[in-house]
Amino acid sequence: MNSSEHTPKVPQSLDELITALTEGERTTFSHIIQSIKFKPNAFDKYSSWSNECYTRNCIINNENFELILICWCEGHATPIHDHGGEECWVKVIDGEFREVIYKENEEGELYAIKSTVSKPNEVTYMKDFMGFHSLENVSKQRSMSLHLYAKPIRECRAYDEKTKTFISRFLTYNTTV
């Protein structure tokens, strides 16, 4: 047996990605999401835009994972948030995003511990033990990111800047196909 027989096939399309995630184990998700390369038009039927806020567009949601396309206008940003205990991979499809990771001190105050900018085809990973994070489209254009959650996230905690506390948020989609 040669080594290529042990290497999972790299998905070449969104449909192949969904099949690979459906048939794969959670331990393979990182390799799968990092290996695939997309053209921005691969998401035409899933993209929707709002000048007010980024949009969350469901591609697939089952008991093992959730795949969401987030469409961002220039300057759109998430609040600081966690992931309800689940794993999260973010793959940049188009544009550039700044991710800031935060920790909470003994007094409940947040402080930034890391800031990075990701470009097309780069993937970031987040799980609650790592802290909280926020994402911002720092491109001078509309941008898209693909979010893989294992398992699906129904609720998270988001930081309220006014009250300086975390509030529970139920997550919804702008579109489902």
How many other β-carbons are positioned within 10 Å of the β-carbon of residue 58?
17
Distance CA 121, CA 15 (A): 17
Task: Specify the CATH superfamily of domain 3-176.
Answer: Jelly Rolls (2.60.120.10)
Per-residue confidence (pLDDT) for residue 8, from 0 to 100? 60
Task: Report the percentage of the chain scoring pLDDT > 70.
Answer: 95
Model confidence at 66, pLDDT cuts 50, 70, 90, reads very high
Q: What is the mean pLDDT of the chain?
A: 92
| pLDDT reported for residue 7 | 56
Strand spans (E) along 62-131: 66-72, 87-94, 97-104, 110-118, 123-126
Residue 27 vs residues 43, 104, 175: alpha-carbon distances, Å: 25, 28, 28
Mean pLDDT, range 101-106, rounded to an integer: 94
Q: Is the Cβ–Cβ distance between 159 and 81 less than 8 Å?
A: yes
Instruction: Give the pLDDT of residue 38.
Output: 85
